A and B are shown apart, each in its own frame.
Chain A
Amino acid sequence: MPNNPTPLAETEPVVESKPETRKVHAALTRTSTGHEDLRELEAGLDSLQSDAARKHRIDWSRVLLPVAALVVLVLIWQFYVSLGLKRRDLVPGPLDVLGQIGILWGEAKLQEAVWTSLQRGLVGFLISVAIATPVGLLLAQVAPLRRAFGPLISGLQVLPSVAWVPAAIIWFGLTDATVYFVVFMGAIPSIINGLISGVDQIPPQYRRVGTVLGANRFQMAVQIILPAALPGYLSGLKQGWAFSWRSLMAAEIIAVGGTIGFGLGSMLNQGRDLADMTIVMSAILLILAVGILIELLVFAPIEKRLLRSRGLLSGSTR
């Protein structure tokens, strides 16, 4: 027992008053009259305090507004072209480009280019994810490693991955290895950085809970840190994809020939060689379209689901 006076005497009640002062007073005595009463009270309070489930319906403005914006942009483009300020072969109109896309489709060149690039981009991206995730977790969890390599990784993100193209061509020649190498150098640092910043933003409380619940280092990383860092990790992945797609295009434009297949970048380069602006514009629009489609069909739904399930979506303009 603590070595201090226990003034139990002080607390002895002076209660000769009334035997029937059984007035229940909130916060001082029991407020409910039994187990069933308590259960009922709680159920009532629970339903008062939780939001009714809202239905999710299709919001057409999400579809119509971007389409309208696109139409407006194309109309402006057409209007500019019809003013005739520039030669038509330098600035082709939307219809010219559409015609060229039709021709490329007919020659099956378009499908080949999109497929070649997309396949490379995705394979390169997935391998980058497989490499960057464990490295990122390790760097985020082990302080000396992070101190040592953190600046380098951030630096690599700033370095344009195109800078690696000449080196890659010298090392690997005009092969797919060159293309993949450039993609890795673009994607891996940005995924690592995304994961690290995701881990940095985890509320410290989660780690304490993990410790209290008895998680070891590995369980902490896999069961708590990784899922907690998922929003940051996902934006890292998005950025990683963007970097791998960009790096891929750069590599394809510069490294042409050898065993490197015909991708969108190659198509762009071919348009330049032929001085055919419609091919150039078609290639640019296709590169953009693939980027937008991947964002809309892959990342946006995953991100939305992730944020909604954590209650982070309410009030955002998404």
Chain B
Amino acid sequence: MPVVLENLGKRFGDGAPVLDDVNANIGAGEFVALLGASGCGKSTLLNIMAGLEVPTSGALEVPSDGAAFMFQDAALFPWLTARENIELALKLRGVGKAERRIKANELLELVHLGEAGDKRPHELSGGMRQRVALARALSQDRQLLLMDEPFAALDAITRDLLHDELERIWKETGRTIVFVTHNVREAVRLGQRVLLLSSRPGRVVQEWAVTEEHRTDAGLAGQLTGVITARLREEIRRHAK
């Protein structure tokens, strides 16, 4: 198990706990969608897995080499071209100069941006930027890839395509992916497993398996989406009082 979360808790200062008693196991090569409404601590949980924050209680087990991370905005460096952005990530990993160039081109090719390597981030569309960011995250060559609502700011057409793209890359590279989203459709579209996090405090309250049939049968997928949405709303309604 690359990721094991045991009774994980997190609070900031003296405030109410953001995460409380989170338990989850994520297997190698698995694609898990972490779903929840605002304030459920999804991003905090991801930051803890990435080692950007430390939990206040509980234990977690993550790969020793850490995790690759992809943010909601592409966060590419504007002074570097698309290729140079990827090369910088490789450089910080200690990859030699000649190999960096070859590897960066391979990764650009993987995200279908072989032609756009010399463009600056501001010359790329939002979808292209996210693909460069994905290539950069993959360049870290870590088994675990954490994604924090990476497609939330994109238009619907681009998002649909990037779902296909991400699924293809996941299958080609065999990464373990934890994908945080507040979009039920997106969770069902991408995850093999959908974990629902409650809000304030965040806790895994339920999980669903998504099968290959759900990928091809819109009726089935729609049904599951409905079930999960209902459960999510129930969770949100609890906060009405």
Using a CB–CB cutoff of 8 Å, the interface residues on chain A facing chain B are 1-8, 10-11, 13-15, 17, 21-32, 35, 38-39, 41-43, 45-46, 49-51, 203, 205-206, 208-215, 219, 223-224, 227-228, 230, 309-311
With beta carbons under 8 angstroms apart, the residue of B77, B163, B185, B227 that contacts A206 is B77
Contact A13:B213 (CB < 8 A) given known A28-B225, A228-B77, A310-B79: yes
With beta carbons under 8 angstroms apart, the residue of A4, A15, A26, A51 that contacts B219 is A15
Distance of B204 from chain A, by nearest CB (Å): 4
Question: Inside 8 A of B78's CB, which chain A residues have their CB?
Answer: 309-311
Distance of B25 from chain A, by nearest CB (Å): 6
Q: A30-B164, A208-B71, A219-B92 are in contact. List 17 more A-B contacts (CB 8 A).
A: A1-B24, A2-B25, A4-B206, A11-B224, A14-B223, A15-B220, A25-B218, A28-B225, A29-B215, A31-B163, A46-B125, A51-B123, A212-B68, A213-B93, A214-B66, A214-B140, A309-B79
Question: Inside 8 A of A30's CB, which chain B residues have their CB?
Answer: 163-164, 167, 215-216
Distance of B229 from chain A, by nearest CB (Å): 12
Distance of A113 from chain B, by nearest CB (Å): 40
* SS of B interface (majority): helix
| Chain B 190-218 interface residues, beta-carbon cutoff 8 Å to A | 195, 204-209, 213-218
* Inter-subunit contact B92/A215 (CB<8 Å): yes
- Kindly state whether residue B235 has any CB partner on chain A within 8 Å: no
* Inter-subunit contact A27/B208 (CB<8 Å): no
* Inter-subunit contact B221/A25 (CB<8 Å): yes
Question: Inside 8 A of A1's CB, which chain B residues have their CB?
Answer: 23-25
Contact A2:B165 (CB < 8 A) given known A28-B222, A51-B123, A212-B50: no
Contact A211:B52 (CB < 8 A) given known A4-B205, A7-B206, A27-B156: yes
With beta carbons under 8 angstroms apart, the residue of B71, B116, B189, B209 that contacts A46 is B116
* Inter-subunit contact A28/B189 (CB<8 Å): yes
* Inter-subunit contact B219/A17 (CB<8 Å): yes
- A211 to B, closest residue via Cβ: B52
Distance of B187 from chain A, by nearest CB (Å): 11
- A220 to B, closest residue via Cβ: B92
* SS of A interface (majority): loop
State the interface size on chain B (CB cutoff 8 A): 71
* Inter-subunit contact A11/B161 (CB<8 Å): no
- Kindly state whether residue B89 has any CB partner on chain A within 8 Å: yes
CA of A38 to CA of B112, assembled, Å: 9
Distance of A22 from chain B, by nearest CB (Å): 7
- Kindly state whether residue B188 has any CB partner on chain A within 8 Å: yes
CA of A9 to CA of B125, assembled, Å: 42
* Inter-subunit contact A205/B73 (CB<8 Å): yes
10 contacts between A and B (CB under 8 A): A6-B209, A11-B227, A25-B221, A42-B127, A46-B116, A46-B128, A51-B123, A209-B71, A212-B50, A227-B79
Question: Inside 8 A of A41's CB, which chain B residues have their CB?
Answer: 161
- Kindly state whether residue B124 has any CB partner on chain A within 8 Å: yes
- Kindly state whether residue B75 has any CB partner on chain A within 8 Å: yes
With beta carbons under 8 angstroms apart, the residue of B161, B206, B218 that contacts A5 is B206
Max chain A CB contacts within 10 Å: which of B69, B185, B217, B223? Answer: B217
Contact A13:B50 (CB < 8 A) given known A8-B209, A50-B125, A219-B92: no
Distance of B44 from chain A, by nearest CB (Å): 14
- Kindly state whether residue B117 has any CB partner on chain A within 8 Å: no
* Inter-subunit contact A8/B208 (CB<8 Å): yes
* Inter-subunit contact B186/A27 (CB<8 Å): yes
CA of A2 to CA of B5, assembled, Å: 9
Question: Inside 8 A of B222's CB, which chain A residues have their CB?
Answer: 25, 28
- Kindly state whether residue B122 has any CB partner on chain A within 8 Å: yes
- Kindly state whether residue B159 has any CB partner on chain A within 8 Å: yes
* Inter-subunit contact A21/B75 (CB<8 Å): no
With beta carbons under 8 angstroms apart, the residue of A5, A28, A32 that contacts B221 is A28
- Kindly state whether residue B158 has any CB partner on chain A within 8 Å: yes
With beta carbons under 8 angstroms apart, the residue of A7, A17, A31, A311 that contacts B160 is A31
